[in-house]
Amino acid sequence: MTTQAESEPICCPEFDPTLWDDKISEWDKKPFIKDKVFTIFYMPVNFGQVMTRLNDKVTKADAKMPDWLCLSEHTSMWNMGIYLAVDKEIQEAENTTLSGKFYSKVYEGSYNNTGKWTKDFESTVKSKGFKMNKLYMWYTTCPKCAKKYGKNYVVFFSQIE
């Protein structure tokens, strides 16, 4: 017998946490395209629509999304910036780059643990002797794929000094 979760298509690649857990990445003008998600008390409202819009732009440009890396930056209770990694400049998109050293740590579980994870991440960064600048989160799979894989990984990133 096949359950509904088993028969649903997979749209997100399976995530390997060992590649990102407790790692430092150095980026020199790493290319991203940027967009915004409307949030209500930090909960995304139109995340899927924004991701579809970004994906359409990447597809139209015949570009790639390295590692399917997509960083979210909560800028207020009402807005979240989205940074989708790309392999080249994309026409009709807001192109930007990120440079510097970035520390990442992987968490697994329900999104309602985000507050606890944030405190742990800040403590970990400080214990390593780093100064934390901006905080980003990478929701590595959509909810349907997380259910199918049986794991819901979220990677926290911070630009560090």
Percentage of the chain with pLDDT > 70? 94
State pTM to two decimals. 0.89
CATH number of residue 99's parent domain: 3.20.80.10
pLDDT at residue 3 greater than cutoff 50: no
pLDDT at residue 24 greater than cutoff 90: yes
Q: What is the mean pLDDT of residues 82-94?
A: 96
Tell me whether residue 1 is in a domain. no
Tell me whether residue 99 is in a domain. yes
Tell me whether residue 83 is in a domain. yes
What pLDDT, on a 0 to 100 scale, did the predictor assign at position 8?
Answer: 56
pLDDT tens-digit series, residues 33-60: 999 999 998 888 999 899 999 999 999 9
Q: Which residue has the higher pLDDT, 120 or 11?
A: 120
Question: 107 — phi, psi (to 5°)?
Answer: -125, 155
What pLDDT, on a 0 to 100 scale, did the predictor assign at position 30?
Answer: 97
Q: How many CB atoms lie within 10 A of CB 26?
A: 9
Q: What is the mean pLDDT of residues 76-101?
A: 96
Structure-token pair, residue 40: 């209500």
Q: Which amino acid is at 33?
A: I
Domain of residue 42, residue span: 21-160
What pLDDT, on a 0 to 100 scale, did the predictor assign at position 1?
Answer: 37
Tell me whether residue 56 is in a domain. yes
pLDDT band of residue 11 (cuts 50, 70, 90) is confident
Tell me whether residue 3 is in a domain. no
Residues 6+ apart with CB under 8 A from 38: 44, 45, 46, 78, 79
Tell me whether residue 8 is in a domain. no
pLDDT at residue 91 greater than cutoff 50: yes
Tell me whether residue 14 is in a domain. no
What pLDDT, on a 0 to 100 scale, did the predictor assign at position 10?
Answer: 62
CA nearest neighbour of 26 among 95, 99, 97, 131: 99
Tell me whether residue 5 is in a domain. no
CA distance 93 to 95: 6
Question: DSSP label at 4?
Answer: H
Q: What is the mean pLDDT of residues 5-24?
A: 82
Task: Count how many domains the chain has.
Answer: 1
